Amino acid sequence: MTQDTQDPDRLLKWGLGGALFAALCCFTPLLVVVVAGVGLSAFTGWFDYALFPLLFFSLAIVAQALWLRAGRPGPSPKIWATASTALLSVFIIWIEFRFALRITVGAFMAVGVYAFVLNRMKSNGATQ
């Protein structure tokens, strides 16, 4: 039995789960407490360098899943989502995480707007 890698519901669950995990670990002391509890607190200063790219990558997966669920209207978001993930990751590290919360909220809002647009495209296609 093979699993379809293009299953939109599965991609959406994994993408939202990854984004939620990364957001919790970035903006709360959850991961720091857990890692310090096992004696690896020396690594806590480097978490953001992995967690923010994970967060943006997860949001790119959410965008792909939303596109698949909407019936693939328009061009695939893979290229622009991947480019956005790379650019946001480099940018947020370059500015040393100063506006991390604002950038993250903006990324979440961009995915939300994309979901709204896809939903409108899907509903307009169904009524015509």
Q: Give burial (CB, 10 Å; 0-12/13-18/19+) of 83.
A: exposed
pLDDT digits 0-9 by tens, 13-41: 999 999 999 999 999 988 988 888 888 88
CB contact at 8 A, 115 and 67: no
pLDDT digits 0-9 by tens, 88-106: 999 999 999 999 999 999 9
Evaluated on CA atoms 85, 87, 89, 92, the torsion sign reads negative
CA dihedral 16, 63, 100, 106 (to 10 degrees): -120
Q: Look up the pTM and report it.
A: 0.88
Mean confidence (pLDDT) of the chain: 90
